[in-house]
């Protein structure tokens, strides 16, 4: 049985027999022996292997270089060198998979993020992208643990859907029709011949279905991939991204904001505790301010600003914005970042947005102008979370749908939830990649998801 490098490095005593498998990061040759630095993905750190020239399998080292997969048998011994406690003294080295040094793309120590995006299948073998993927895994687990401990049920909402949750019209359509030979009736594509007999889309959010389950199970959350066809080529938007969406029955906007703040803080503290070694890489090489920013999140309360207050702060700001500011206009990333980075210098929750710039399902406030919405804004990112209390009054919801030109018939089941045992309920969506960017200081969303999907990019 192979020992994972993470466990070998954490050993408490030497071991006579150890079997290690991994990929060679570097090979150094000295007189009569060689050093191999091996990584198997179990942790950031490599394991040093010393191969003496007199072991029978020594000649195989000629074929072993950076990128090769190897198997090493030997003893785990205390390392006399500095930088590591343990090393392996090899008795037998075997080549599992050859990597031609002339063509293996990861020879150089440092490559640009742009170059590494073109080899997304190999970049997880670098320190930085290995670390990102481990942090992604740890945080996924942390999310499940957080909600599980709070008594939320993990539910699965569909990826194929017939309804547009956000009403923003930025959805991918899914079809099995032959696009070169579309069936038509009176000039229109005949969707009755399509797989579902109607228009099918990839979901932008699991919220609507999560509401149905919350109105039966109480507190639920969904955590899965979502898809948006917005043609925005920004460092913060991906066409496929993962979202965490809790939904609570018997809850209002205040409960929603409390949950959002607590959730962010708990996830930050989980990451600091469980991903310390990987995070340290980002604090040293990617974002010098990372550690203090993360520590600060834990110490202080998030600032709360009504949208109205936020707009007046932005109007007073002695800063030139590219986009206009005014009541009724949506906040742009530059505005959000000003509020959280420069004005408050900590996370900010903006709430009570004008109804015109928010989705149909948000609860209308008594002023008739604003809805019970909230966005959590964090330094370096802008919007991390978007949520709201949902409209639970069937008549108000129907008139909202009507105002927005949305069909009552399409949302019949959603209206049903308001007809039968309707309760105040609230929830939010947190972009998982944005959370990872926030935690690591990585500034481009393409670098925190293994295989990014953005306009005109689908190589893998
Ligand atoms: O604010 P959004 O659009 O909210 C919803 O979809 C609600 N239905 C969620 C809910 O209440 N259950 O999206 C939520 C979050 C954003 O705050 C952002 O972090 C992330 O999803 N997000 C994206 N992340 C990456 N790429 C994109 N194109 C994103 N669009 C939204
Ligand atoms: Mg939003």
Helix (H, G, I), strand (E, B) or coil at 427: strand
Q: Which two tokens stand for residue 72?
A: 């090493």
Q: What is the pLDDT of residue 83?
A: 84
Which residue's CA is minimally distant from atom 21 of ligand 1? Answer: 431
How many whole angstroms separate alpha carbon 314 and alpha carbon 308?
10
Instruction: Supply the DSSP symbol for 318.
Output: S
Helix (H, G, I), strand (E, B) or coil at 433: helix
Q: Which atom of ligand 1 is nearest to the CA of 445?
A: 25
Q: What is the pLDDT of residue 399?
A: 95
* C-beta of 130 in contact with ligand 1 (< 6 A): no
Vertex 149 angle, CA 145 and 154, to 5°: 65
How many whole angstroms separate alpha carbon 300 and alpha carbon 346?
8
Q: What is the pLDDT of residue 180?
A: 96
Q: Could you tell me if 164 and 199 are in contact, meaning their C-beta atoms sit under 8 angstroms apart?
A: no
* C-beta of 438 in contact with ligand 1 (< 6 A): no
Mutate to test the pocket of ligand 1, among 212, 241, 243, 427 (most ligand atoms within 8 A of CB): 243
Q: Which atom of ligand 1 is nearest to the CA of 386?
A: 1
Which residues are CB-neighbours of 271 under 8 A, at least 6 positions away? 135, 138, 139, 142, 279, 294, 439
CA of 386 to the centre of ligand 2 (A): 5
Which residue's CA is minimally distant from atom 26 of ligand 1? Answer: 237
Q: What is the pLDDT of residue 108?
A: 72
Q: Which atom of ligand 1 is nearest to the CA of 247?
A: 12
pTM above 0.95, yes or no: yes
Q: Which two tokens stand for residue 364?
A: 């209308």
Which residue's CA is minimally distant from atom 23 of ligand 1? Answer: 431
How many whole angstroms separate alpha carbon 351 and alpha carbon 12?
52
Q: What is the pLDDT of residue 199?
A: 93
Q: What is the pLDDT of residue 128?
A: 97
Which residues are CB-neighbours of 61 under 8 A, at least 6 positions away? 27, 34, 51, 93
Query: Which ligand is closest in space to the CA of residue 330?
Result: 2
* C-beta of 245 in contact with ligand 1 (< 6 A): yes
Q: Which atom of ligand 1 is nearest to the CA of 165?
A: 8
Q: Which atom of ligand 1 is nearest to the CA of 388?
A: 11
In sequence order, what E strands does 281-432 have? 303-306, 348-354, 370-378, 382-389, 425-431
Q: Give the H or E element holding residue 307.
A: helix 307-316
Tracing tokens 């007189």 back to the chain, one arrives at: 31
Q: Could you tell me if 81 and 47 are in contact, meaning their C-beta atoms sit under 8 angstroms apart?
A: no
Give the residue among 62, 12, 3 at the shortest CA–CA distance from 38. 3
Q: What is the pLDDT of residue 459?
A: 84
Which residue's CA is minimally distant from atom 4 of ligand 1? Answer: 386
Q: What is the pLDDT of residue 11?
A: 97
CA Rg value for the chain = 27
Q: Could you tell me if 338 and 317 are in contact, meaning their C-beta atoms sit under 8 angstroms apart?
A: yes
Q: What is the pLDDT of residue 81?
A: 85
CA of 385 to the centre of ligand 1 (A): 7
Q: What is the pLDDT of residue 348?
A: 98
Query: Which ligand is closest in space to the CA of residue 331?
Result: 2
* C-beta of 452 in contact with ligand 1 (< 6 A): no
Which residue's CA is minimally distant from atom 28 of ligand 1? Answer: 237
Q: What is the pLDDT of residue 431?
A: 98
Cα separation of the two ends of the chain: 33
* C-beta of 400 in contact with ligand 1 (< 6 A): no
Which residues are CB-neighbours of 98 under 8 A, at least 6 positions away? 63, 68
- What domains appear along the chain, each with residue ranges and CATH number? 5-97 (2.40.50.140), 123-168+204-447 (3.30.930.10)
CA distances from 336 to 253, 332, 375 (A): 20, 6, 10
Q: Which residues have beta carbons under 5 A from ligand 2 (an ion)? A: 386
* C-beta of 256 in contact with ligand 1 (< 6 A): no
Vertex 149 angle, CA 146 and 154, to 5°: 75
Mutate to test the pocket of ligand 1, among 155, 241, 337 (most ligand atoms within 8 A of CB): 241
Instruction: Supply the DSSP symbol for 454.
Output: B
Chunked mean pLDDT (size 10), the chain, 460 residues = 97 97 96 96 98 96 97 97 92 98 88 96 97 98 98 98 78 96 95 95 96 98 96 92 98 98 98 97 95 93 98 95 95 96 96 96 97 97 97 97 91 97 98 98 98 92
Q: Could you tell me if 65 and 73 are in contact, meaning their C-beta atoms sit under 8 angstroms apart?
A: no
- Exposure class string for 388-410: b at 16+ Cβ within 10 A, else e: bbbbbeeeebeebbeeeeeeeee
Mutate to test the pocket of ligand 1, among 431, 439, 453, 457 (most ligand atoms within 8 A of CB): 431
Give the residue among 380, 376, 374, 344 at the shortest CA–CA distance from 362. 374
């Amino acid at each position: 049985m192979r020992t994972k490098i993470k466990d070998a490095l954490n050993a408490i005593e030497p071991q006579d027999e150890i079997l290690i498998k991994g990929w060679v990061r570097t090979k150094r040759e000295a007189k009569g022996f060689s050093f191999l630095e091996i990584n198997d993905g179990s942790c950031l750190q490599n394991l040093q292997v010393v191969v003496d020239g007199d072991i029978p399998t020594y000649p195989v080292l000629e074929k072993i270089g950076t990128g090769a997969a190897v198997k090493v048998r030997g003893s785990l011994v205390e390392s006399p060198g500095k930088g590591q406690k343990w090393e392996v003294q090899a008795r037998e080295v075997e080549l599992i998979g050859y990597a031609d040094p002339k063509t293996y793309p990861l020879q150089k120590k440092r490559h640009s993020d742009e170059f590494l995006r073109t080899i997304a299948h190999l970049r997880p073998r670098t320190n930085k992208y290995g670390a990102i993927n481990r942090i992604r895994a740890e945080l996924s687990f942390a999310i499940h643990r957080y909600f599980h401990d709070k008594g939320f049920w993990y539910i699965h909402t569909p990826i194929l859907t017939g309804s547009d949750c956000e009403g923003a019209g930025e959805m991918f359509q899914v079809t099995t029709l032959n696009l070169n030979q579309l069936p038509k009736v009176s000039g229109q594509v005949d969707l009755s011949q399509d797989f579902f007999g109607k228009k099918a889309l990839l979901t932008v959010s699991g919220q609507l279905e999560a509401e149905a389950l919350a109105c039966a199970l109480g507190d639920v959350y969904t955590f899965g991939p979502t898809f948006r066809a917005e043609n925005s080529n920004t460092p913060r938007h991906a066409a496929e991204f993962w979202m965490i969406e809790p939904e609570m029955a018997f809850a209002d906007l205040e409960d929603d904001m409390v949950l959002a703040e607590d959730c962010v803080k708990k996830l930050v503290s989980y990451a600091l505790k469980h991903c310390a070694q990987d995070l340290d890489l980002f604090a040293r090489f990617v974002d010098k301010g990372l550690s203090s920013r993360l520590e600060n999140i834990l110490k202080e309360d998030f600032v709360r600003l009504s949208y109205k207050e936020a707009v007046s702060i932005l109007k007073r700001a002695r800063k030139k914005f590219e986009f206009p500011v005014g009541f009724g206009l949506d906040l742009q990333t530059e505005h959000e970042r000003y509020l959280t980075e420069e004005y408050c210098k900590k996370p900010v929750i903006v709430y009570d947005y004008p109804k015109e710039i928010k989705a149909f399902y948000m609860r209308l406030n008594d002023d008739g102008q604003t809805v019970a919405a909230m966005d959590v804004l964090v330094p370096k990112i802008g919007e991390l979370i978007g949520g709201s209390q949902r409209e639970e009054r069937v008549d108000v919801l129907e008139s909202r749908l009507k105002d927005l030109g949305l069909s009552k018939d399409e949302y019949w089941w959603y209206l049903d939830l308001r007809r039968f045992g309707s309760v105040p309920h609230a929830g939010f969506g947190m972009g998982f990649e944005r959370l990872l960017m926030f935690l690591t200081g990585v500034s481009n969303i393409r670098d925190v998801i293994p295989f990014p999907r953005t306009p005109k990019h689908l190589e893998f």
